[in-house]
Amino acid sequence: MPDLTTVSRTDETHLRHAIEAARASREVGNHPFGAVLVTGEDIIIEGQNTVVTLGDPTGHAETNLVRIAATLLARDALHSSTLYTSTEPCAMCAGAIYWAGIGRVVYALPEEQLAAMVPRQDGEATLDLPCREVFARGGNSVTVAGPALLAEAAEVHAGFWNARP
């Protein structure tokens, strides 16, 4: 049985898809974050960030994905799925993933590396709370693997945050 806490080549393939979703999000004016949900071998849902275009501060890629997934999949299907994300889920997204019952998360860029790139937003710093800590506080298990593909994941953020007003 594979170790689900390490990132495999298959995981890297799905992470690259999430990074491309982040790139697509950036191209339409949103923050560069993307996520995909995989059940078995198939990507079934892709999520992009919509914070800017929809004016919703909760429109993170993972949260958008969870909203769709929860309406389409049964709880047991969610539990056996893996959510791949271009950047470590924030506390809000980790909570959504936890409450949806998704069983595994694989991320590329760690939160602390993102925080080093992002200037204080509207006088507020990013929320520094690793997803593993959020998941550890719950009664259900969420397996986490990552970080991985750091250079590829960081590249989609290059120049974005320092170009913002």
pLDDT at 79: 93
Tens-level pLDDT at each residue, the chain (165 residues): 677 788 999 999 999 999 999 999 999 999 999 999 998 777 789 999 999 999 999 999 999 999 999 999 999 999 999 999 999 999 999 999 999 999 999 999 998 888 788 776 555 456 778 999 999 998 888 999 999 999 999 999 888 887 655
CA distances from 54 to 51, 103, 157 (A): 6, 29, 20
Element (H, E) at 72: helix 61-72
Active site residues: 62
pLDDT at 91: 93
pLDDT at 18: 97
Q: Is 35 helix (H, G, I), strand (E, B) or coil?
A: strand
Report the distance separating Cα 59 and Cα 47, nearest Å.
Answer: 10
Closest CA to 107 of 97, 117, 116: 97
| The model scores a pTM over 0.85 | yes
pLDDT at 160: 84
CA distances from 133 to 48, 129, 144 (A): 24, 7, 11
